[in-house]
Amino acid sequence: MASADDSARAPLRQRWERPTAPRPIVCIGAGGIVNDAHLPAYRAAELPVAGVYDPQVERARATAERFRLPRVFETREAALAVSDVVFDIAVPPRELLGVVEGLPHGSVALLQKPLGLDLAEATRIVDACRARRITAAVNLQLRFSPAFLAVADAIERGWLGRVVELEVLVNCRMPWELWPFLAELPRMELPLHSIHYLDAIRALMGEPTAVQGRTVRHPAAPALASSRTTAILDYGDDVRCALSVNHHHMHGPRYERSELRVEGTRGAARVVMGVNLDYPRGRPDSLELVRAGGEWSEVPLVGNWFPDAFRGPMSNLQRFVAGEDAVLATSVESAWHTMAVIEALYEADAARGVRVRQGVGS
């Protein structure tokens, strides 16, 4: 039997276990995220893919040729008719509910984030999954990245003590023009990008009791509903949790940032999320840790957020269905709670905070 000392010296967890007998995957959607992250991650994890469907058939054929997939489905109905598979649904948020409502009863599906356009639609998606007995997870994969799994493991081992400080700082140039559909959305930055940080924070910290925040446009991207966010999550009177996200830094790499900092009563961690820096090429992730009385040290990582984290949600879902995992980490119910945080932030944004007095006696 391993001793407590042996456990303390064991390498930090960085990968989710692969399912023992994985089901084939059918991809619904062959866009950029499927080609750049889903399929490379599944190939690396040796998860079989049975085929792909996309409304643009030529795009599906190009994806199938690139990844040597055995089948291209000409219609969505044909793709959804395949049995004993996991459906990997990567469609824009306004299309997600319709696809879920067309899934076979009793099927298994991984849904692209966000869980619909807003909390009301997220609720309808959860209800549809329950009514159709669909086992569904949401592809909120940042919490499955090697760096975040390692931080979560360090916290669980007590290396950092009680977490009292968590800050996400992103100051980069994101090429939003790569995704034209974003200009049509009534909500953008929070449900399409910062949702990852909010979900990962929930994984590390639990549920916040309240939020404050603003999400705003930038003059360089007037068609986007918002592309910069400041948010505060309330975890009590002695915990500070904040996000500062700017996707329009146009002044060179010197002061670009893409990091999460966690400080506890006994130690601290700093994660660099390299994908945001020079997207879509990105830079390597990194993780540094310090424990009480020690020095900062770098933890070698086995991979990056993109594409390595994308192994996690699919592996967890398949292992859960097979009885190998007891918890479905990003179930639609869990994703609903992440959407609830986002909904609260939009309510806080609409309230515009407390007005500052403009004069004596005002």
Counting beta carbons within 10 angstroms of the beta carbon of residue 192, is it exposed (0 to 12), middle (13 to 18) or buried (19 or more)?
buried
Do 25-141+314-327 and 143-304 come out as alike in CATH topology?
no
One CATH from 3.40.50.9100, 3.90.550.10, 2.30.30.100, 3.40.50.720 for 25-141+314-327: 3.40.50.720
Is 189:170 a contact under the CB 8 Å cutoff? no
Query: Whole-model pTM above 0.85?
Result: yes
Q: Tell me the two tokens of residue 136.
A: 């569904």
Q: Which residue, 43, 36, 41, 63, is CA-closest to 52?
A: 63
Domain edges within the chain: 25-141+314-327, 143-304
* Cα separation, 58 vs 280, whole angstroms: 23
pLDDT tens digits, residue range 210-241?
Answer: 999 999 999 999 999 999 999 999 999 999 99
* Cα separation, 218 vs 176, whole angstroms: 12
- The pLDDT of residue 206 is 97
In the structure, what pLDDT confidence band is assigned to residue 19 with cuts at 50, 70 and 90?
very high
**CA 96-99-103 angle, 5° bins:** 135
Q: Name the CATH topology of 143-304.
A: Dihydrodipicolinate Reductase; domain 2 (3.30.360)
pLDDT tens digits, residue range 245-297?
Answer: 999 999 999 999 999 999 999 999 999 999 999 998 899 999 999 999 999 99
pLDDT tens digits, residue range 40-94?
Answer: 999 999 999 999 999 999 999 999 999 999 999 999 999 999 999 999 999 999 9
- Residue showing tokens 């506890």: 264
* Cα separation, 222 vs 227, whole angstroms: 9
* Cα separation, 314 vs 199, whole angstroms: 17
Report the pLDDT averaged over residues 200-209. Answer: 98
- The pLDDT of residue 298 is 98
* Cα separation, 59 vs 55, whole angstroms: 8
Task: State whether the Cα torsion 34-38-44-46 is positive or negative.
Answer: negative
73 Cβ neighbours under 8 A, 6+ residues apart: 26, 51, 52, 53, 60, 79
